[in-house]
């Protein structure tokens, strides 16, 4: 739940004036301890950005072929989507990662395997 800036300022000012702890002020105003702690660090809300979640599976499949050992966050940066969207799309494609047995123990790599 998003609290207004005025409410957050009121909570922090009461904490300052009365010398309350974070837990006491959270109980008094019926808000979470983590919320009060976050407001102390930065009272302004972080903007909620737009995240693209739809992935063209053909583009992802080509990215897997081009970069078989890439991490999900690297794929997400290349495709302009969230890392979790990459995770879900890889599951949908049935992609698994296999150890490359041709390399030595110390230099093991993981490579992507696309079914069929």
Q: Which domain holds residue 82?
A: 57-113
- Lowest pLDDT segment from 9-18, 80-89, 107-116: 107-116
pTM as predicted: 0.46
Domain count, the chain: 2
Closest CA to 55 of 67, 38, 72: 72
Regarding whether 31 and 62 lie in a shared domain, the answer is no
Question: What's the CATH code of the domain at 70?
Answer: 1.10.10
Q: Tell me, what's the pLDDT at 34?
A: 94
Helix (H, G, I), strand (E, B) or coil at 98: strand
64 and 100 assigned to the same domain: yes
> Taking a C-beta distance cutoff of 8 angstroms, is the pair 86, 60 a contact?
yes
Taken in order 64, 67, 69, 70, the sign of the CA dihedral is: negative
> Which of the pair, 82 or 25, is modelled with greater confidence?
25
Q: Which of 20-29, 65-74, 99-108 has the highest mean pLDDT?
A: 20-29
């Amino acid at each position: 739940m998003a609290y207004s800036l005025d409410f957050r300022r009121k909570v922090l000012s009461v904490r300052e004036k009365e010398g309350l702890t974070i837990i006491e002020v959270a109980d008094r105003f019926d808000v979470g301890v983590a919320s009060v702690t976050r407001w102390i660090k930065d009272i302004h809300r972080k903007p909620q950005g737009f995240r693209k979640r739809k992935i063209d599976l053909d583009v992802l499949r080509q990215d897997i072929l081009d970069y078989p050992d890439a991490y999900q966050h690297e794929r997400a940066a290349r495709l302009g989507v969230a890392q979790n969207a990459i995770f879900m799309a890889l599951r949908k494609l049935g992609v698994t990662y296999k150890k490359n047995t041709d390399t030595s123990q110390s230099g093991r790599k993981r490579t992507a395997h696309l079914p069929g």
